[in-house]
Amino acid sequence: MKLLIQRVKKASVNVNNDTVGKIEQGLLIFVGVCKEDTKEQADFLARKAANLRIFEDENGKMNLSVKDIKGEALVISQFTLAGDCTRGNRPGFDKAAHPDIAKPMYEYFSEQLRNENIKVENGIFQADMQVSLINDGPVTFILEK
């Protein structure tokens, strides 16, 4: 499982011109599910994302988590994170989980974030989504497990 995490001032996701998810300050998390991913990996990454100290404290140091600031999370499925660009110019997606496996894992990850007492909004799995954000920093991390 791969996560691309961005610290945001706010973010939203639209499908067919309708806003389906919207947050204020917090994390925009893109989730790529790979074939061999497990719930244990999702548990680990949800805890890691919830407790990752990437928000500034009163001294301007990255010392606070999204939980500490009572922030929110917008979680978007992103199968292209499982893409392989090492050969040629066209990405390969052999490592990406089939939607029958990826969707429940994506939903499970979101639920684990909720269990960390974080308000979570979601995009729509497999939809053509337009994501808008105001990056804060910018601060962006990739987490893998």
Domain extent at residue 62 = 9-136
| Per-residue confidence band for 84, with pLDDT thresholds at 50, 70 and 90 | very high
Q: How many domains does the chain have?
A: 1
- Cross-strand pairs, 74: 28, 121
**Cβ-Cβ contacts under 8 Å for 18 (sequence gap 6 or more):** none
pLDDT average, residue stretch 125-144: 97
In a domain, 145, yes or no: no
CATH code for the domain in which residue 93 is found: 3.50.80.10
| Residues marked as catalytic | 80
pTM of the model: 0.96
In a domain, 52, yes or no: yes
Reply yes or no: is the peptide bond before residue 138 cis, omega within 30 of 0.
Answer: yes
Instruction: Please tell me what DSSP assigns to residue 33.
Output: -
Say whether pLDDT at 20 is over 90. yes
pLDDT average, residue stretch 82-90: 94
In a domain, 141, yes or no: no
Q: What is the largest CA-CA distance in the chain?
A: 47
Say whether pLDDT at 3 is over 90. yes
Distance CA 63, CA 3 (A): 20
Element (H, E) at 109: helix 99-115
In a domain, 49, yes or no: yes
pLDDT average, residue stretch 73-92: 95
Say whether pLDDT at 17 is over 90. yes
Please check whether residue 19 is in contact with residue 10, taking contact to mean a CB–CB distance below 8 angstroms.
no
Higher-pLDDT residue of 113 and 145 is 113
Residue 79 in tokens: 């199968």
In a domain, 100, yes or no: yes
Distance CA 51, CA 91 (A): 32
| Per-residue confidence band for 145, with pLDDT thresholds at 50, 70 and 90 | confident
